Amino acid sequence: MFKFAHISDIHLGPLPKLTLRELMSKRITGFVNWHRNRRKHLFVNTLDLLISDMKTREPDHLMITGDLVNLATSIETKLAGEWLQSVGEPEDTTVVPGNHDAYVPGAHERSVAEWYPYIIGDEGTRDWSDETKVFPTIRRRGPVAVIGCSTSVATPPFSASGYFSPRQARETVNLLKKAGEEGLFRVVLIHHPPIRGAASSHKRMIGIRRFAAAISTGGAELVLHGHTHLNTVYWLRSHHGRVPVIGIASASQGPGGSKPRAAYNLFRVSGSPGTWNLVCDRYALTEAGDGVELHDSHVFYGEDPGSLSVQEAARMI
């Protein structure tokens, strides 16, 4: 059995002191949003509780689907790199970036460069200066192939959309087919939900149809995403059957907000192609915010698939 955990939308805080030059950009909108909304519900101690509990479960691998920072300043990006080092070794942790990690032009490249050991795939060094030359990546860990995709691009003010390019779609198909031929359980990581209607129009992923076609053609067993700060389950179709698409709450979300409290998913995979078993346990912050408890369990592959909980949204496209 192979165990892996999934967290997303870290949004490490508090915000560092920003210069006037840094604020003279899209960052001003994020700065105002942080002080009006996010700082009231995103707490470092919440993240610490979540990571501490997760480590007691001893996952073999940790997968992080973006938004490690808030405004993608150089200081934030560096601190996020130091935080990653405190969480786990690069070979045991895989990261894909989110829209906040590419908040302004040039930020995506700085984020990828800073977190490179946690991003780069088995193929070795690639040019991180351009998104098109890094993603998709593939990392083989035990019976699992972790395939990292990026929707991380700088966008105008009041926009948080992502972009999945035709080139990335073609290469993702190739990696999925190769991993399938190797008999691996294929997990695709992406920040934006690749589901139409899962995010509002100004936060949507551009290239949803492209991504669905890549999954349908290449085949996959699981897709993990973040961005919405919600615990959700959707489905995509492939030539090999249905593929669960699972989102998770922000790892820093404290109690009392409009979004679900911080959570992580712990997956257990066993079996072999055609007879995979996949169980997911979701652990979430308690209502009092003083600990972490088991919130929900679901069997996605196996002899006794469970029904979706009332907290989850199920959708078939």
Span 33-82, pLDDT tens digits: 545 555 545 556 899 999 999 999 999 999 999 999 998 888 889 999 99
Mean pLDDT of 24-35: 54
Residue type, 132: T
pLDDT above 90 as % of the chain: 70
The pTM is what?
0.88
Q: What is the pLDDT of residues 256-311, one digit of tens each?
A: 888 999 999 999 999 999 899 999 999 999 999 999 999 999 999 875 444 344 33
pLDDT at 26: 62
**Fold of domain 2-301:** Purple Acid Phosphatase; chain A, domain 2 (3.60.21)
Contact (Cβ atoms closer than 8 angstroms) between residue 10 and residue 263: no
pLDDT at 51: 96
Q: What is the pLDDT of residues 114-134, one digit of tens each?
A: 999 999 999 765 554 554 469
